[in-house]
Structure 1
Amino acid sequence: MSSPLPDSAAAPAPGPVAPIRGVQPSFDDLGTPLRDVTFCVVDLETTGGAPGDSGITEIGAVKVRAGELVGEFQSLVNPAEPIPPFIAVLTGITDLMVASSPRIGSVLPAFLEFARGCVLVAHNAPFDVGFLKHDSQVHGYDWPDFPVVDTALLARRVLTPDEVPNCKLGTLAKLFRATTTPNHRALSDARATVDVLHGLFERVGSLGVQTLEDLQTFSARVAPAVRKKRHLAESLPHAPGVYLFTDDRGEVLYVGKSKDLRTRVRSYFTASETRTRIGEMIGIASGVRGIECGTSLEAEVRELRLIAEHKPRYNRRSKFPERQHWLKVTVEPFPRLSLVKQVRDDDAGYLGPFSSRKTAERAMAALHEAFPIRQCTDRMSRTPRMSPCVLAEMGRCVAPCDGRIDIDGYAEFVAGLRTALVADPGPVVEALTRRIDLLSADERFEDAAVHRDRLGAFVRSSARMQRMASVTGCAEICAARRTEDGGWELHVIRRGRLAAAGIAQRGTDPRQYLEMLRASAETVLPGIGPVASASPEEIELVLRWLDQPGVRLVEMDGTWTCPISGAGRHLRRLDPPRSEEHRHPSERRQRRMRPVGPARVG
C-alpha cells in the first residue's frame, strides 16, 4: 500500500484514480437491493411511554423478504407492574392476561434470535426500539447493531397533506388498503405495518429508491435530479482519500477529503447536505474522480495541493496560498519595516506569513511600539540631511533623518528588532504590556484593546513562524505511528513538506518499507524563508500529525528545535490554556515519545 507523493506539487491525478466510466460495478457497489433484504417488522404494547418508567406487555413481529412472509413472533409479557386502566381499555390487555406470562428478560433472547440478520422496521421506531434497547441493557443482552427503518418518518417524507391528514398507523393502513386493521395489539399492528411498508416501497421505487442504502438516506427534500446522480459514487472505494467533482468540460468544481470516499460522496445526494452552494455544485457536477490515499495526513495534504492547483469555484478555503503577507526589515543604511508579499534571498529579516494585510499591520504597529525605528518610506543615504517628521518630534522615532543618530547607533535598534522577529519577542511583549497597563489605569479601555490586538497579532505570528521554521529546517524527518490493526503509518517529511506516505501492514518489516518510501519520495530542495517548500497550511498539518500521541521519530536529518525564549512561551498569557497547540511539538512530546528502534518497530 505504498503511497509516495509525486514530484509535482499538485499533479491532477497522482496515485490510483478511480475511473468513472467503462466500469461494471459489483452488487456491493450498487448497494443491497430491497428484494434481498429481510425485514423484521416489530410492534410493542407497553404500560406507558418511557423506557425505565414503563414495561412491555406484548411483542409482535413479522418477518418478510421480497414481499413474502417468512415468519411471525408473538408473546405477551408480564411487566411486573399493574397495567393502567386506560391502557387496558386501549389494548385489551389486562393484568389477568399477563399474570402467567414470562418476564421481558425471558422473552428478549427469543426475539433477538428471531430478528437476527434483519432490518428492523417499526411505526414510530424510536419508541419501540428504545424500549427494546433499554430492556436489553438492563438484562445484560448485547443489542445487535440493527439497521432501522421508521415507516412513520418515511411516510412523512413521501406523502402529502392532500393524501392523508396525518401519518398514524390506522390512517396509513386505510390509504394502502392493509389486509389487517390495526387494533393496538402487537401482532395485528405489525401485520398492518408490513402492508404500509410495501405501499411506501411502491411510492419510493418510482423515485429511484431501489436499495437499502437509498432507503436509509431517502428524503423528499432531495430533488430527483440530484438523487439520480448517486451513481457517481459507485466506483469510489471505501477508503481514505480525496474526491474531485467535475463538470461536463472536466473543470474541477469542488475538492474534498474523507476517511471513506464512497460513503462521503454518497452523502452529497441526500438530505444531510444542506449547504446552498454545494447544492448548486451538485446540480452542475457530472463526474467524481477519487484519489485513494494511504493515510489521513496524505489525504489532507493532497486536498490542499489540489485546491491550490485547480482553485475550484465552490471551495472557499486554501485556494490562494500564494497570497501571503510578510513584514520585512529592509536592507539599506537605515532599515525600516516594510509590508511585502514575497520573501527574497536578500539577507533581510522577515516575519510571517500573515493571512491578511490587517493582521500584518497590527504586528508592525506592535514592533514600532518597542523599537523606535523610522516609519517613513523615503530612502536615506549614509549621511541624511532631512527635516524630522512628526513621530520624531513626539519621541517615537530616533530620527536618523536629521542626524540625531548615526548608522552604528541605529544598527543596535535594528539588531534588537531582528532578534525579536526570530528568537526573543520579550522586548515587544514588555513594551506593549506596559502600554496596555497605563491605558487601562487611565480607563482608556478601547485604546488598550487596540494595543492588545497588536500584541496578539505579533506574538501569534512569531510563534507560528518559529514552529514552521523548526520543521522546515530539517532536511528529512521519518515518523511512524501504530495503526489500529497493528501495522505502521509511515511518513517521510522533507523540509516541512510531506514527501511520501504509506502503511506497512501488520507482519511486514516496517523499516524495509520505510526505506522503499524514502527511495521513492519527492525530492525537496532548500528554499528561501520558513515556508519555501510547502504552504503554511501543509506545514501546520504536518506539525499537528507529528504531535499526535503515539507518533515516533524514526530518522531525522537536521535539528528540530525552537527558541527557549521564543514567542510560544507568551501565548498562554494571550490565550487561556485551552490547548497547547502553539507550543513546539518537540517540547510537548519530550516525556511520552521514544525514537523507534529496530526492536520497537515490527
Structure 2
Amino acid sequence: MPSSKAPLAIQATFDDLGTPLRDVTFVVVDLETTGGSATASEITEVGAVKVRGGEVLGEFQTLVNPGLPIPAFISVLTGITDRMVASAPRIDTVLPAFLEFAHDTVLVAHNAPFDVTFLKVNAERLGLPWPGHRVVDTAHLARQLVTRDEAPNRKLSSLAQLFGAATTPDHRALHDARATVDVLHALLGRVGNLGVHTLEELGSFTSRVSPQQRRKRFLADGLPSAPGVYVFKDSQQRPLYVGTSVDIRRRVRSYFTASEQRTRMAEMVGIAETVTPIVCATPLEAEVRELRLIAEHKPRYNRRSRFPEKSVWVKLTVEAFPRLSVVKDVRDDGAQYAGPFGSRAQATEAIAALHEVVPLRQCTARLSTRGQGKACALADIGRCGAPCTGEQSVESYGDVVARATEALAGDARAVVEALEQRMSRLADKERFEDAGHLRDRLMALVRAAARAQRIAPLAASPEVVAARRRDDGGWEVVCVRHGRLAGTTITPRGADPMPAIEALRAGAEIVPPPVAPAPAALPEETEKVLRWLEAPGVRIVHLDGEWTCPMHGAGAARDRLEPLLRSRGEVAGFGEVPGRFETRPAAAVPSAG
C-alpha cells in the first residue's frame, strides 16, 4: 500500500539560487599591447592567474611577438621592447593555449572591455570560436564599492595600494593579473557583506535601495518628461546636486530605484526636499546650464566642474628675456598664453617639457640687457644661453623665444619630435622611469597647446551660428559668441529655418569680447561648444570672425599619442577630452525641411 505522506518540503538554501562564488573558477587576465585599438594594434604579452575559493590553481604568462615594431611610447609604459619579443611565439600559438587554460571559467580583468575585445578580435582573425565566457570587470565593481575618500580613482595601482595587494602592478601582464586577483578578492569580500554570494547575483549587483530612498519617490511626481537640467535642493532650497537628462522625470525617478548605485546619491536623496526642473531647448543648452549652475552653487554632491576658477594658464612673459610662468588670468599685455590647464601641476609639467628641448631661462628675476648677473648650473650644462651674464644677446635669445612661441601657437612638430627622440633614447637605455616622466610632460604640453589652438579662434569670433538637422526633420541651432553659448533654438519640421535663426541672433545674449586668447565662458563650456560644432552634420550658418587652426599644430601630436594613453586607462583631466579640430568655411544656409 503506498504511503499517504506528502513529500517532505525542503526550503532551498541561499546557495541553491545560483552558483556560489566560492565554487566559481576565475581566470584573471591582463594584456599588454602595442596600442589602444584592437583592430589596429597587437598583443605583446599575456598574463593570467586561475583562482577558486581564494586559492591559486595556476598561472599563464608569455610574451607575444606582435609582428610589428613596438612604439617607444608603449615601451616606456610596459618595459617591453622589440628585442624582448623577437623570439617570442606569435598570437596564433598563444591564443589557443590561453583559451585552453581559461576553459570553462569566468574571465576577470581590470577594465575588462579592453582586454576582452583584444582577445575576441584575435580569435576572429584566427578563426577560433569565442567561448562566450562570463566576464567580471573589477574596475566596474570598484566604481560601486570604493569611495573617493578611500582612493583617488579606480586605477589598478590605486586599488592595489588600497587593498594591500601582494604584487605591485607595473604594466607587465602577470604582475598586473596577480594584483587584480587581490583586488578581486577584496571586492568580493565587500559584496559578500552586502549579501551577494552567487555568481548570478554578482552579475546583476547594484547598491541596495534604502527605505529612505523609496519614500522620496514622490519628488519625481509632476516633473516634465523633457530634456533639460534638474536640481535637487534641501529644506533651505540650497542646491545639493545638479544633473542633466533627455527625460528629466525618468532620470529623477531612477534615483529612487536599484539603478542608482552611488552611495553618495543615496545620502543626497535622504537630504533632498525638492527637485527643480529646467527644461532646455537642446542637449547642448542642458550641458552648458549644468556647468554654469555647478560652478555658481558648488553643490556638495557634484564631483566635477565645481571649481573652474582653479584653471591656470602658462604665460610667456613680455620682457627683454622672456620666461615661462604659471598665471591665473589672461591679461591684455601682449604676452603669449597657453591653456587653460586644470591644475598648476599640469601647467608645471608642460613648462618642464618645453624646458627639456628649448633653452629658455628658468630664473625668475627680471634681467637687464647689460648682463650683470652670474650664470647658473643650467648654463653650465647647455640648458640655457646665460643671458643674465651678457653671453646671449636679446636677438639670439629671441630665436629661442620664437621656438617656444611656435610650439605653443603654431607648428609643434619640432618640439614634439625632439621630446619623442629623447624619450626613445631613455627607453633604449631602459631608463623607463625617466622616460615615463618625460612622456607625462610631453602629454601635458601637447594637450594644453592643442586646447589653446582650438579655443583661441572661437574665443576671438564675435559670433558663430551653426545648425544640425534633428531626427524629426527640424534643425537644432546654436549661437556662440566669443566661445560662450549665447542662445539656442529648435526649428519646426518643414518650416523655413531662417526666421527662427534671425530671431535667435537678435535675442541671444550680448557677450563682451574677452581678453584673448581666453574665451568669454568657463573653459569647460567652450570645450563642450567646440565638440558640438565639430560633430558630424553640423553646418556653419554665419561666421563673424576667422575660424582657423595651425595645420601642424599640437592637435596632431595629441591625436596620435592620446589613444596610446587611453589604452592603458590614463584618463585626461578637465578639458582634456580628445577631439579633432576641423577648420570649416562658412557653409550654405540650411534649407527648409
Same fold at TM > 0.5: yes
Counterpart amino acid of residue 279 in structure 2:
E
Match of 2:592 in 1: 601
Q: 1:582 aligns with which of 576, 579, 582?
A: 579
* Per-residue CA distance 1:102-121 (angstroms, 9 max, x = gap): xxxxxxxxxxxxxxxxxxxx
Residues 282, 576 of structure 1: CA spacing in aligned structure 2 closer, same or farther, 3 A cutoff? closer
Match of 2:428 in 1: 441
1:489-568 correspondence to structure 2 within 5 Å: 489-568=476-555
Aligned: 1:348 with 2:299 = no
Task: Quote the Cα distance in structure 1 between the aligned partners of 2:467 and 2:534.
Answer: 12
Give me the CA root mean square deviation: 2.1
TM-score, reference length from structure 2:
0.61
Contact 1:464 1:582 in 2 (8 A): no
Counterpart amino acid of residue 228 in structure 2:
G
Task: Quote the Cα distance in structure 2 between the aligned partners of 1:530 and 1:235.
Answer: 44
Contact 1:391 1:397 in 2 (8 A): yes
1:324-343 correspondence to structure 2 within 5 Å: 324-343=311-330
Contact 2:450 2:555 in 1 (8 A): yes
Contact 2:468 2:475 in 1 (8 A): yes
Aligned: 1:480 with 2:472 = no
1:92-491 correspondence to structure 2 within 5 Å: 221-491=208-478
Task: Quote the Cα distance in structure 1 between the aligned partners of 2:468 and 2:457.
Answer: 21
TM-score, reference length from structure 1:
0.60
DSSP-derived class of the 2:340 partner? strand
TM-aligned CA deviation for residue 572 of structure 1: 4.0
DSSP-derived class of the 2:243 partner? strand
TM-aligned CA deviation for residue 220 of structure 1: 11
| Rg larger in structure | 1
TM-aligned CA deviation for residue 568 of structure 1: 1.6
Match of 1:22 in 2: none
DSSP-derived class of the 2:583 partner? helix
* Per-residue CA distance 1:11-56 (angstroms, 9 max, x = gap): xxxxxxxxxxxxxxxxxxxxxxxxxxxxxxxxxxxxxxxxxxxxxx
Contact 2:316 2:324 in 1 (8 A): yes
TM-aligned CA deviation for residue 369 of structure 1: 1.7
TM-aligned CA deviation for residue 261 of structure 1: 0.5
Residues 595, 573 of structure 1: CA spacing in aligned structure 2 closer, same or farther, 3 A cutoff? closer
TM-aligned CA deviation for residue 442 of structure 1: 2.2
Contact 2:241 2:299 in 1 (8 A): yes
Task: Quote the Cα distance in structure 1 between the aligned partners of 2:553 and 2:480.
Answer: 24
TM-aligned CA deviation for residue 356 of structure 1: 1.8
TM-aligned CA deviation for residue 529 of structure 1: 3.0
Match of 2:137 in 1: none
Task: Quote the Cα distance in structure 2 between the aligned partners of 1:371 and 1:223.
Answer: 59
Contact 2:541 2:589 in 1 (8 A): yes
DSSP-derived class of the 1:501 partner? strand
TM-aligned CA deviation for residue 581 of structure 1: 4.6
TM-aligned CA deviation for residue 221 of structure 1: 4.2
Counterpart amino acid of residue 595 in structure 1:
A
Contact 1:239 1:260 in 2 (8 A): yes
Contact 1:327 1:337 in 2 (8 A): yes
Match of 1:129 in 2: none
Task: Quote the Cα distance in structure 2 between the aligned partners of 1:387 and 1:506.
Answer: 73
TM-aligned CA deviation for residue 228 of structure 1: 2.2
Residues 461, 274 of structure 1: CA spacing in aligned structure 2 closer, same or farther, 3 A cutoff? same
TM-aligned CA deviation for residue 576 of structure 1: 4.1
Quick check: 562-571 or 249-258, which moved more?
562-571
Residues 576, 310 of structure 1: CA spacing in aligned structure 2 closer, same or farther, 3 A cutoff? closer
Contact 1:543 1:585 in 2 (8 A): no
Identify unmatched segments of 5+ residues in structure 2: 1-205, 568-576
Identify unmatched segments of 5+ residues in structure 1: 1-218
* Per-residue CA distance 1:524-577 (angstroms, 9 max, x = gap): 121113333111211111111112222211111112111112112222431348
Counterpart amino acid of residue 391 in structure 1:
L
Task: Quote the Cα distance in structure 1 between the aligned partners of 2:426 and 2:550.
Answer: 31
Task: Quote the Cα distance in structure 2 between the aligned partners of 1:472 and 1:258.
Answer: 28
Q: How many residues align?
A: 378
